[in-house]
């Protein structure tokens, strides 16, 4: 039977519960254990798919088509274990399922209540598909004291009774702030947070204390005394130079040993952390650096492009260079008086990421023109590929009115709404004007690559599987015109109907992809497209 580790947070949000969970899973994995990480989100959205990136950061998509919290990206990047639909649940999804059952009469006339019906549904989710695992890590979103998270707290309290003390561990992540006027770290917020947690019937076994300086032995002992945990289970969590140094830091602080001892498991030999040591060594000792400009719509919030940011770092790891990312607001390029060349000339590569809506689109198209005409490496992802096709249609194929139906009616729909596509389950259909949530082309789909293409060389294969999240596709009826203008359709869906990749053979590095390769990149296994893209940026840096 799998053992369960429940992770809660206190004092303030954004303490890094997701990174802590991912790091702990990586440490347990390095000790030979089979792990999986799950996220419980208390908000009432069924999933984050319809939320603005400014509200909740990026939407992470799994192979099986789930739109999930960005923390699942951390989980995959640190463990290499593909996340799936069953690894993320929200209050909205729980209530949606319960209300559907009530409407069908599944409860046989019973009064449907938070306890036991909601808590039972949460427990069922936590325990599903865990028979082949050693440890299941469950991160509870939000902060102790939030009204929204109370059903989840009650559910994990019940799970300790259901599974037994020997099969459960509670980790609480708190803040130990430094008060400059007093010249010391203060433990009282942690004490109060643990008191709130114990009032819900949950006694933490391990405390992870975020602080900006080393935690003195005296404060550690004080926290242990007042919070009723062993001193060895009070874990210092300092800021790290890179998130990929966090597993090493947590191991040095004794996190994995404290967790194993809470299960009465003798830790034994040190885990093999050579993978993480190699990654950190490359990050700390680059042999050069490049600057990549990301021309996007949500550049005001780094988490909106979290996986993209990390995939670029991974490309740097593959090439032993530091990647400096310059975030550029596409709307600025649309303003009269903006010197686009001055903004883009210092860059060694340009990337236009995915997004939705018309805002900033003309600025993105102008950045494509610059990259094409100046022979600067260009990478277009999802909407970035569509903007590249529209730019090519207007400027190299002679279709002046080229546009996308996403932005309104157009006589030249180079990009249009996709209303049906094939999956392993058969033909999928969507109605224009239907629901937005969960109706995109989502999840992993295969594509066939032209054997003599740049991308087939990069992948080392002519068959690939990549993750998608989009409603609009490049119109294959414009293929002939675009190819006459120098843009080759080098990747297509197996039925030949949906363009997946375009490239310009006469350009040093110009590739657009309809999918999101950043979702599958890992520090120990950089995605080949990002490794190649940063390699092209390195070559460009030598020409500047």
CB 316 within 8 A of CB 346: no
**Alpha carbon 215 to chain centroid, angstroms:** 31
- Report d(CA 428, CA 432) in Å as an integer: 13
Strands (DSSP E) contained in 242-335 are: 289-296, 322-329
Active site residue 527: no
CB 422 within 8 A of CB 428: yes
CB 507 within 8 A of CB 497: no
- Report d(CA 121, CA 125) in Å as an integer: 6
Which of 74, 468, 516, 527 does the annotation list as catalytic? 516
- Is the omega angle on the peptide bond into residue 116 within 30 degrees of 0, that is, cis? yes
Tokens at 198, concatenated: 């114990």
- Report d(CA 201, CA 9) in Å as an integer: 15
Active site residue 516: yes
Structure letter (DSSP) for residue 347: -
Which of 227, 382, 406, 454 does the annotation list as catalytic? 382
- Report d(CA 37, CA 22) in Å as an integer: 8
SS3 state of residue 451: coil
Active site residue 172: no
Residue 200 main-chain phi, psi, to 5 deg: -90, 5
What angle do the packed helices 119-127 and 150-163 form, to 10 degrees? Answer: 60
Residue 166: Cβ within 10 Å count: 11
* Distances in whole angstroms, Cα of residue 369 to Cα of each of 111, 195, 389, 484, 501: 62, 59, 11, 17, 18
SS3 state of residue 358: coil
Active site residues: 382, 516, 518
């Amino acid at each position: 039977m799998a053992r369960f580790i429940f992770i809660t947070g206190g004092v303030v949000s954004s303490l890094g519960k997701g990174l802590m969970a991912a790091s702990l899973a990586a440490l347990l994995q390095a000790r030979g254990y089979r792990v999986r990480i799950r996220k419980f989100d208390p908000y009432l959205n069924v999933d984050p798919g319809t939320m603005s990136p400014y509200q909740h950061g990026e939407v992470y998509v799994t192979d099986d088509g789930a739109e999930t919290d960005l923390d699942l990206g951390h989980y995959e990047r640190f463990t290499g274990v593909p996340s799936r639909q069953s690894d993320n649940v929200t209050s909205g999804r729980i209530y949606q399922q319960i209300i559907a059952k009530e409407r069908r009469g599944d409860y046989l006339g019973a009064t449907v209540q938070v306890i036991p019906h909601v808590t039972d549904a949460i427990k069922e989710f936590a325990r599903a598909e865990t028979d082949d695992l050693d440890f299941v890590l469950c991160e509870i979103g939000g902060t102790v004291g939030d009204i929204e998270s109370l059903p989840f707290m009650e559910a994990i309290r019940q799970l300790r009774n259901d599974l037994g003390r020997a099969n459960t561990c509670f980790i609480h992540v708190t803040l130990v702030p430094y008060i400059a006027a007093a010249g010391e770290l203060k433990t009282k917020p942690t004490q109060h947070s643990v008191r709130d947690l114990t009032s819900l019937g949950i006694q933490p076994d391990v405390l992870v204390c975020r602080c900006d300086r080393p935690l003195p032995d005296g404060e550690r002992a004080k926290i242990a005394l007042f919070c009723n945990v062993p001193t060895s289970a009070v874990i210092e969590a300092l800021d790290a130079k890179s998130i990929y140094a966090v597993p090493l830091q947590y191991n040095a602080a004794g996190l994995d040993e404290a967790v194993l001892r809470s299960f009465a498991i003798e830790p034994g030999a040190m885990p093999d952390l050579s993978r993480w040591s190699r990654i950190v060594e490359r990050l700390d000792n680059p042999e050069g650096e490049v600057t990549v400009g990301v021309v996007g719509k949500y550049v005001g919030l780094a988490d909106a492009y979290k996986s993209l940011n990390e995939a670029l770092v991974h490309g740097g790891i593959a090439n032993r260079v530091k990647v400096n990312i310059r975030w550029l607001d596409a709307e600025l390029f649309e303003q009269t008086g903006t010197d686009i060349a001055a903004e883009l000339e210092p860059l060694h590569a340009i990337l236009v990421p995915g997004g939705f809506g018309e805002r900033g689109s003309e600025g993105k198209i102008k950045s494509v023109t610059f990259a094409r005409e100046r022979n600067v490496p260009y990478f277009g992802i999802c909407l970035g590929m569509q903007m590249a096709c529209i730019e090519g249609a207007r400027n190299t194929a002679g279709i002046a009115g080229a546009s996308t139906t996403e932005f309104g009616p157009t006589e030249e729909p180079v990009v249009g709404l996709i209303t049906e596509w094939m999956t392993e389950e058969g033909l999928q259909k969507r109605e224009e004007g239907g629901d937005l949530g969960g109706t995109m082309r989502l999840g992993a789909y295969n594509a066939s690559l032209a054997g003599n293409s740049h991308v087939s060389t990069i992948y080392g294969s002519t068959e690939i599987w990549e993750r998608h999240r989009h409603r609009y596709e490049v119109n294959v009826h414009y293929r002939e015109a675009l190819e006459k203008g120098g843009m080759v359709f080098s990747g297509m869906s197996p039925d030949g109907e949906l363009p997946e990749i375009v490239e310009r053979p006469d350009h040093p590095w110009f590739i657009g992809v309809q999918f999101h390769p950043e979702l599958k990149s890992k520090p120990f296994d950089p995605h080949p497209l990002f490794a190649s893209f940063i390699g092209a940026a390195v070559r460009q840096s030598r020409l500047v």
